[in-house]
Amino acid sequence: MQGRKPGNQARKQVESRRNIRLVLAFDGSPYHGWQIQPNHPTVQGIVAEAIGKITGERVTLHGSGRTDAGTHARGLVANFETASAIPPGQMVRAFNSMLPRDIRVLSARRVALDFHARRSAKSKIYRYQTYCGPVMPPHLAREHYHFPYPVEVPRMQRAARLFVGEHDFTSFTKKTALADDESVPKNMVRRIYGCALQKKGRRLLLTVEGNGFLRYMVRNMMGTLLEVGRGRFELERFRALFERRDRTLAGFTAPAQGLILVKVRY
Amino acid sequence: MQGRKPGNQARKQVESRRNIRLVLAFDGSPYHGWQIQPNHPTVQGIVAEAIGKITGERVTLHGSGRTDAGTHARGLVANFETASAIPPGQMVRAFNSMLPRDIRVLSARRVALDFHARRSAKSKIYRYQTYCGPVMPPHLAREHYHFPYPVEVPRMQRAARLFVGEHDFTSFTKKTALADDESVPKNMVRRIYGCALQKKGRRLLLTVEGNGFLRYMVRNMMGTLLEVGRGRFELERFRALFERRDRTLAGFTAPAQGLILVKVRY
């Protein structure tokens, strides 16, 4: 013990810290979104509690971003630092034996200490699912929005492509975000790498990849596209929305249950 | 009123009787199957009660066949006779405003009086859904059976094709059906028109069309195929099952939650 230099001790502590990256899937129906809130069940809260039981530590769990109450995920990414040496494969089994069935840890792996689920993210892919038939089939009810009116799909598809590129999305964010509130991001410009609307039978699937998303942005994109499909919204008027920067000019906010965070890219 | 012949009265009564054909979809998780049972919620019971409220009559609701507790349907067909003149389209809306969200009437139409949902059926199509990955994604959990072991799919696909044709399915029905019970059908021969196993990612979808199905038949077919996939069951032994007529020789009964009645043909 005598010959040991003090530096070794510190290095050992650093080496024993592990950064664990989780991929999570959940049915968001019973949860108040990702982010921890007092008195409401949230996915972050429930997963952080499970980490506590597995590692015996109170850790900070970083998510790739917030999700709205009721929104689902197929591949939300999160990370946390731990001194625990439990192998990641064993951790997956421990999580899934502990978590409710509607939250699953799909994978866990050790990553570099500088990986951060939100800050390191390059892009996110969301899907919004709408069902356009007269009667909602029960097996689609949990993850589709029911819009029982006829829509002109090719016109919606043309409009969807106009989202691609760098735009000011003020017209497509939450109304209150326009108030003079310090917590609201000043920069409303986001880059959309891809945006396409697919028709599969009576289902309309909007898939959007972007470098970031404002609050309610995808839900407002879908709501506006549905109004385009109903013929209530000319394509010219639609094009002007980015420059007008006025939330009251775009379409309605489609409900949270149709929205799925599909994947986060790094 | 005097000149009216008594025959007219009888004919009018017959003419005013309508036979209504319903197509139903339901999430079977919370129900004890189709058929009415005392003290258990069943789909037939709930739909018959809704008919009572809509028509003011107590009717007999005929289904295309029983389904097991927990089994789902995308297109179960049922019929009932009524004196009510409510147009079928209006009936669909009345049903769906009254029924729980996990039972939906997809369509209603007037058919000939001799149509009977069970007796007139030519064939039924069932699908059994299995998920073979290590962790069950929440959005598939309600309608898939989780089988977290590696399976050899091409071998299962060869075995699945052997079901096609006319066979004695004694080895694939409920064990108690072999007891000396008057209520058990003596004829265990059924004709399978098509049987195929599809692999979609980590999902295995078994689709079977036949002129009739014994109790637990599709679930036992899936269980046996999974044992074939695990290498526990040689193809030769599998082939012999029809002739051996012994339930104890086939594979396990896959759980109800993976089974879906997709369609009934007339």
Report pLDDT for A250: 86
CA distance A26 to chain B (A): 6
Told to judge if B114 belongs to the known catalytic residues of this protein, a careful annotator would answer no
Give the lowest-confidence range in A3-12, A65-74, A208-217, B224-233. Answer: A3-12
What is the distance between the alpha carbons of residues B11 and A163, in angstroms, rounded to a whole number? 64
Instruction: Judge: A104–B135 Cβ closer than 8 Å, yes or no.
Output: yes
pLDDT-derived band at A185 (thresholds 50, 70, 90) equals low
Residue A148 pLDDT greater than 70, yes or no: yes
b/e B73-98 (16+ beta carbons within 10 angstroms → b): bbbbbbbbebebeeebeebbebbbeb
Residue A126 pLDDT greater than 90, yes or no: yes
pLDDT-derived band at B29 (thresholds 50, 70, 90) equals very high
Report pTM: 0.88
pLDDT-derived band at B177 (thresholds 50, 70, 90) equals very low
Residues of chain B positioned with their CB less than 8 A from the CB of A43: none
- Amino acid making up residue A128: Y
Please give the structure tokens belonging to residue A98: 């502990």
Report pLDDT for B82: 96
pLDDT-derived band at B235 (thresholds 50, 70, 90) equals confident
Residues of chain A positioned with their CB less than 8 A from the CB of B25: 137-139
Q: Which residue shows structure tokens 């007219």?
A: B8
* Nearest CA among B209, B236, B130, B216 for reference residue B169: B216
Look at residue A59 and give its three-state secondary structure.
coil
Instruction: Calculate mean pLDDT across residues B126-141.
Output: 97
Residue B4 pLDDT greater than 60, yes or no: no
- Amino acid making up residue A187: N
Look at residue A57 and give its three-state secondary structure.
coil
When comparing pLDDT for A77 and B66, which is higher? A77
pLDDT-derived band at A203 (thresholds 50, 70, 90) equals very high
When comparing pLDDT for A250 and B99, which is higher? B99
pLDDT-derived band at A82 (thresholds 50, 70, 90) equals very high
Quote the mean pLDDT of chain A.
Answer: 91
Residue B179 pLDDT greater than 70, yes or no: no
Instruction: Judge: B92–A139 Cβ closer than 8 Å, yes or no.
Output: no
Whether the Cβ atoms of residue A140 and residue A260 lie closer than 8 Å to each other: no
The residue of A139, A203, A260, A261 whose CB has the most chain B CBs within 10 angstroms, and thus the best one to mutate to test that interface, is A139
* Nearest CA among B100, B23, B101, B31 for reference residue B68: B31
Instruction: Calculate mean pLDDT across residues A233-258.
Output: 88
- Amino acid making up residue B260: I
Instruction: Judge: A106–B139 Cβ closer than 8 Å, yes or no.
Output: no
pLDDT-derived band at A11 (thresholds 50, 70, 90) equals low
Report pLDDT for B3: 45
pLDDT-derived band at B184 (thresholds 50, 70, 90) equals low
Report pLDDT for A3: 45
Residues of chain A positioned with their CB less than 8 A from the CB of B142: 139
- In tens, the pLDDT along A37-55 reads 999 999 999 999 999 999 9
Instruction: Calculate mean pLDDT across residues B30-41.
Output: 94
Instruction: Judge: A138–B92 Cβ closer than 8 Å, yes or no.
Output: no
Report pLDDT for A9: 55
**Does A146 reach chain B within 8 Å, measured CB to CB?**
no
Quote the mean pLDDT of chain B.
Answer: 91
